[in-house]
Copies of this chain bind each other. A is one copy, B any other.
């Protein structure tokens, strides 16, 4: 695999995992941006194994634009409105971007004007920009789309993902409300702090690939409640309908002690397809790999704001 020069933008748990893997795969870290006071000014090598000794973490993204990078691996926030001002200067400087921002996986649904301007800028600068990750970006959208490839007369696509967050990192447990009283959970959902971001984006991505127009996309976010009315996690269902016959149902449970963790994809079509990934795909590890494995694909892609479904298949990697 050809080596790229990359900027790591965001050094939280996901960003650190991405940068570690990218350096491990032979890509060269040239700069790190993070706003955590505990990290600013410190050597990147204190956080990222394989980081060159001379790379120092900065909070000022403007100073890294001319660091000689090919691509930015971006992992800060989930909402497009949050990351949009971060991305524009990067793209304007001619840097390709892969971001784990959930809404960037399909920004056209909630932010069509921002998406169009980012697309136009990326085209004019000759670089690819794409939102990737395991979810959205793979297990509830790209993989179901690919599994429709042998199908005609598609009527319904149902994806169920069950994640036992006991097995995952603490921030994810907090994100899904583990341990909260139900009322606090509901306030968190209303405020947009709690729950998974990305189901409507995944539904829209599937619809786009199938050439469907979704009349509506509805999403429910409910607590999974355990003993003593304490929240164990979240159950979200997103449903999109195309005309009177086409339906996309995305059903996501992320809860402590969730039974039978798995990813399950059913395509009602000719022929029907039912695929089960036993145990489910581990989200964090998978996101690191999806981002890093996609680097050569994004650098070779046509310029513009791309969808995960518009890149040729990304293959995994062996130890280098």
Contact = CB atoms under 8 A, between A and B. Distances in A.
A interface, by DSSP: helix, strand, loop or mixed?
A: mixed
A279 B290 contact: no
Contacts of A317: 151-154, 210-211
Contacts of A88: none
A6 interface: no
A268 to B, nearest CB: 11
A311 to B, nearest CB: 7
A146 interface: yes
Contact of A314 (B149, B276, B286, B319): B149
A64 B292 CA distance: 47
Interface stretch (A36-44, A118-126, A137-145): A137-145
Interface in A238-289: 242, 245-246, 267, 269-271, 273-279, 281-282, 285-289
A120 to B, nearest CB: 21
A21 interface: yes
A99 to B, nearest CB: 17
A274 B275 CA distance: 10
Contacts of A314: 146, 149
A315 B153 contact: no
A87 to B, nearest CB: 23
A134 B147 CA distance: 11
A150 B276 contact: no
A226 interface: no
Contact of A315 (B209, B271, B289): B209
A68 interface: no
Interface of A: 1, 21, 24-25, 134, 138, 142-143, 145-155, 209-212, 242, 245-246, 267, 269-271, 273-279, 281-282, 285-290, 292-294, 309-319
